[in-house]
Amino acid sequence: MTAICLYFQVHQPCRLKRYTAFDIGRDHDYEDGEENRRLLDKVAERCYLPANALLSNLICKHEGRFRVAFSISGALLDQLKAYRPDVLESFQGLGETGCVEFLNETYYHSLSFLFSRDEFRAQVSRHQRKIKELFGQDGKTFRFTELIYSNDLAREAESLGYEVILAEGVESLLGDRSPNRVYRASGIESGFGDSAGGQDGVGDGCGYDAKKEAGTGDGRIKVLLRNYRLSDDISFRFSNRDWREYPLTAEKYAHWIHSENGAATVINLFMDYETFGEHQWAETGIFPFLEELPGEILKHRDFVFATPAEIAGTVEPVASIDAPELSSWADTERDLTAWLGNAMQQDAAGTLYGLEADVKACNNSDLLDSWRKLQTSDHFYYMCTKWFADGDVHKYFNPYPSPYDAYINYMNILDDLSKQMKKEKRL
């Protein structure tokens, strides 16, 4: 039996207003609320509402045999509550079917694990509580921002009580092995079985030492690896008329899936939810493709749909995956250079996280909220200067005229936030 794991990342950042040096000290509202609402409305109408309705119909049509998973960032959940509660209700309706798993991540879709374990845990804890509040689920699956993964991250996720973690099926992890198997994380130190704790802005007191070197044993936490070739066939190549497989039909795609019979335990199809209707417009035929796909896959009796937690609870790992270096699902390099690859990005991130102790010492919830929203990884992505194979992708998602404009705008805001903190401390 082969399980198809269909997982969608759902995220929209809080976009920043144009903020000049003349605004420093005068304007402390950093978000472009009008633009946030305009873009959310656009994506809601093109993607979220029609795709959610389609998935609901598919779950009903296939009597629960069709199952999916979502990871919805806290940044988006906050925007949905403020601007589009109808979309939030449609996600909740999907959750009520019992066929949808909602994963945990950092609340602000941040890179916090790389800079502050206390902040990382606080954000994960907040996201856990929000998913429990909105969807009634206790998370068993963790995915870090943009599928960033390493041994150290897996160890941390296991210490927080997670049973499975998602990662990109890169060759550097797999070698000549297949991504279509369940693996266990390598380099896990025994004895980190404490559950997630801590409050926002406060260390969790669990005794975890971030500087302690990882052990060489294998952990209990399981790893599901994205089949990036099959996933990208939908996410990026579906409407490419120059692709030799164009047009991609559900029947053809299901045939590719079925050809793995006997060689695959799981096939992990992970992608942005905005693939449906936003990145791949409705005119491309992406919605009819999605509508037909489950039925085509389920025609083969040896294939089923399952969520990450369901797979982790029923399938044993075949081997361990050793990931001493960080990987992600971004760009052709599958590393972190999309966010931290140049001096501007490194300076911006270093300056931001350098404010942590002071902003938390201020005991001002508004300042803390502003600081945390500035952690969203998209802000650093906009500063990326890679204009080669992935150049068009970075240009498409960048609301600024250039990465340099993104950097200057961001640093102006950090300057103002820092001045506010200093003023708060003097009071």
Cβ contacts of 149 within 8 Å, gap of 6 or more: 165, 166, 167, 168, 223, 323, 326, 327, 328
Q: Comparing C-alpha atoms, which of 342, 427, 419 is closest to residue 384?
A: 342
Burial label for 72, CB within 10 Å (0-12, 13-18, 19+), is buried
Residues contacting residue 121 through CB under 8 Å, at least 6 positions apart: 160, 196, 197, 198, 204
Using CA atoms, how far apart are residues 382 and 400, in angstroms rounded to an integer? 7
- Which strand (E) or helix (H) includes residue 346? helix 343-354
Closest alpha carbon to 142 in 125, 163, 122:
163
DSSP-assigned states of every residue in 231-287: HHHHHTTTT-TTSTTPSP-HHHHHHHHHTTTTT-SEEEEEEEGGGEETTEEGGGTHH
Q: Which of 8, 31, 35, 7 is nearest to 19 (CA)?
A: 31
Query: What is the DSSP annotation of 360-373?
Result: HHTT-HHHHHHHHH
Annotated catalytic residue 146: yes
The 10 Å Cβ neighbour count of residue 51 is 23
Q: Indicate the pairing of strand 319-321 with strand 183-186.
A: parallel
Phi, psi of 61 (to 5 degrees): -60, -40
The active-site residue, picked from 146, 158, 168, 296, is 146
* Nearest CA-CA partner of 236 in 330, 361, 328: 330
Alpha carbons 119 and 26: distance in angstroms, whole number: 28
Q: Which 3 state secondary structure label does DSSP give 94?
A: helix
- Angle subtended by helix axes 365-373 and 403-426, to nearest 10: 160
Active site residues: 146
